């Protein structure tokens, strides 16, 4: 049994029943053979065994009272995965699907994503199995305060800096920041994704979506092509999807779809972004209301969709931006995209394509940007927020956007050049995994056995 297979099989034994975590680990380790062969030190130093084990995992009870006076209990998590390159950095996800496997897969991805940005940030992730859907503002506040009443003792601006993810936006960050400040008496950059009124950074809200589109444009430029005039499928209807759609329009592309957990929306003429933003403010999971304004659009409810995967990927387009959630794009979806002429896929979400879907993209040799490279613009801009907080400055929109573009270009170049160097030109999964691994592994070796 090879070193890699043994590590995976030991992991399945020591951390049972964590399917998403194994998927994320296997995807990275599958790429590492050439670099492990190039230098014996990684194996001698047990780097892979050390990397798959989080430095620290915190699990805690989050009790809170709902508006009817009933006591609710949720599970809270923070996984501090790897601090070789800097303070733990990564978002908090509030979603009913959250469990230890989901948080560990996200934390593991975050290590390599953060390494690829070239910035000084380690990897972490957290969240709770709390469902914000249908909860009042007062309930959200009480939940966030209870969550922070435990988390505050584990985080700090130079130790662990959480941010948002699914279900956690500026409002939740605000309530958590308020509670942190109340408990510690400190006003400091302990969270990113803050409001612009009190320490947030311009472009942070837009950064993940914009970054995924910049990344697609860099992939295409390398192939002598561009996004201009291309029909693009986008999934999701949250922050990432909305700002991917906005940037696609700015670059002359035509985004024709979006989706939520209830259904997929397709509008041949191009998604009406003003209306989409308005629907997001007014109601949740209500994309079908779009048809009240645009009767020429099409809506496919999830309940009516007979196949696995997501109806959004069955429409015809040249580009795809999965911006919803993990494993939302199946092998058959990937085959349908290729058969319909899709030439570029750039992932705004974390691990949205299943392992088999990724194989289809690599096999077809289309331009495929895996999430850990293509969606790194969000966390990179969080680091720019940390830099502004630490130096008590706020930068202009143009300055932050310029930095974001540069970072996305660097990530593309690093992944692309590494893929070529290790013998698989054009394979950015392989290139991103090796480049991310190398930076973290070399730092770990220099810092000794800790």
User: Phi and psi for 370 in degrees, rounded to 5?
Assistant: -65, 155
The residue within the footprint of ligand GLU, chosen from 54, 76, 87, 91 (CB under 6 A), is 91
- Looking at the Cβ atoms of 192 and 235, the one nearer to ligand GLU is 192
Provide the minimum distance between the beta carbon of 132 and ligand GLU in the complex, in angstroms, as a whole number: 15
By CB under 6 A, residue 87 contacts ligand GLU = no
Interface with ligand GLU (CB under 6 A), residue from 87, 238, 378, 436: 378
Near ligand GLU by CB under 6 A: residue from 146, 149, 259, 350? 350
> What gap in Å lies between CA 104 and CA 88, rounded to an integer?
13
Between β-strands 71-82 and 56-65, what pairing exists: parallel, antiparallel or unpaired? antiparallel
Query: Is residue 346 within the footprint of ligand GLU (CB under 6 A)?
Result: no
Nearer Cβ to ligand GLU, position 149 or 350? 350
**Catalytic-labelled residue, pool 113, 125, 247, 438:** 125
* Choices 294-302, 305-313, 375-383, 403-411; region in contact with ligand GLU by CB under 6 A: 375-383
- For residue 125, indicate whether it is catalytic: yes
Q: Which is nearer to ligand GLU, 370 or 378 (CB)?
A: 378
Spatial separation of the C-alpha atoms in residues 387 and 400, rounded to whole Å: 11
CB 35, min distance to ligand GLU, A:
24
Q: According to the binding rule CB under 6 A, does residue 83 interact with ligand GLU?
A: no
* CA dist 81 → 112, 358, 379, 447 (Å): 11, 25, 15, 16
- Contact 159/56 with Cβ under 8 angstroms? no
189 near ligand GLU (CB under 6 A): no
Residue from 89, 104, 314, 438 binding ligand GLU (CB under 6 A): 89
Residue closer to ligand GLU by CB (options 163, 329) is 163
* Binding window for ligand GLU (CB under 6 A); candidates: 145-153, 329-337, 358-366, 376-384: 376-384
Q: How far is CA 367 from the centre of its chain?
A: 19
- Residues forming contacts to ligand GLU in the complex (CB under 6 A) are 89-91, 163, 165, 192, 350, 378-379, 382
Give the residue numbers annotated as catalytic, written as ranges: 125
């Amino acid at each position: 049994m090879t070193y890699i297979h043994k590590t995976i099989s030991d992991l399945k034994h020591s951390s049972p029943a964590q399917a998403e975590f194994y998927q994320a680990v296997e995807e990275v380790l599958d790429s590492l053979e050439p670099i492990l062969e190039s230098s014996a030190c990684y194996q001698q130093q047990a780097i892979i065994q050390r990397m798959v084990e989080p430095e620290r995992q915190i699990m805690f009870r989050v009790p809170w009272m709902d508006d009817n006076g009933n006591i609710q209990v949720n599970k809270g998590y923070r996984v501090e995965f790897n601090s070789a390159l800097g303070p733990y950095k990564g978002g908090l996800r509030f979603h009913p699907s959250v469990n230890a496997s989901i948080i560990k897969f996200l934390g593991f991805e975050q290590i390599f994503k953060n390494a690829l940005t070239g910035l000084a940030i380690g990897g972490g992730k957290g969240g709770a199995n709390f469902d914000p859907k249908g909860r009042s503002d007062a309930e959200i506040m009480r939940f966030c305060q209870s969550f922070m009443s435990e988390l505050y003792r584990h985080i700090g601006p130079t130790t662990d800096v959480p941010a948002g993810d699914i279900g956690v936006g500026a409002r939740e960050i605000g309530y958590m920041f308020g509670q942190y400040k109340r408990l510690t008496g400190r006003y400091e950059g302990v969270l990113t994704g803050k409001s612009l009124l009190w320490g947030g950074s311009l472009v942070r809200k837009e950064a993940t979506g914009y970054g995924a589109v910049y990344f697609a444009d860099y992939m295409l430029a390398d192939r002598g092509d561009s996004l201009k005039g291309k029909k693009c499928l986008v999934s999701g209807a949250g922050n990432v999807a909305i700002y991917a759609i906005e940037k696609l329009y700015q670059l002359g592309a035509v985004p024709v779809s979006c989706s939520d957990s209830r259904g997929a929306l397709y509008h041949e003429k191009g998604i009406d972004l003003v209306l989409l933003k308005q629907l997001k403010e007014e109601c949740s999971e209500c994309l079908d209301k779009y048809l009240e304004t645009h009767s020429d659009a099409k809506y496919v409810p999830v309940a009516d969709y007979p196949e696995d995967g997501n109806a959004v990927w069955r429409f015809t387009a040249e580009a795809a931006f999965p911006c919803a959630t993990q494993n939302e794009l199946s092998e058959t979806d990937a085959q349908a995209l290729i058969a319909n002429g899709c030439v570029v896929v750039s992932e705004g979400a974390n691990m949205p394509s299943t392992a088999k879907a990724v194989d289809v993209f690599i096999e077809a040799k289309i331009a495929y940007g895996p999430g850990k490279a293509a969606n790194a613009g969000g966390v990179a801009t969080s680091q720019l927020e940390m830099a502004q907080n630490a130096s008590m400055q706020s930068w202009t929109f143009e300055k932050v956007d310029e930095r974001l573009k540069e970072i996305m270009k660097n990530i593309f170049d690093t992944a692309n050049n590494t893929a070529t160097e290790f013998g698989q030109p054009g394979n950015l999964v392989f290139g991103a995994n090796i480049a991310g691994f190398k930076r973290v592994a070399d730092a770990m070796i220099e810092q000794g056995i800790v």
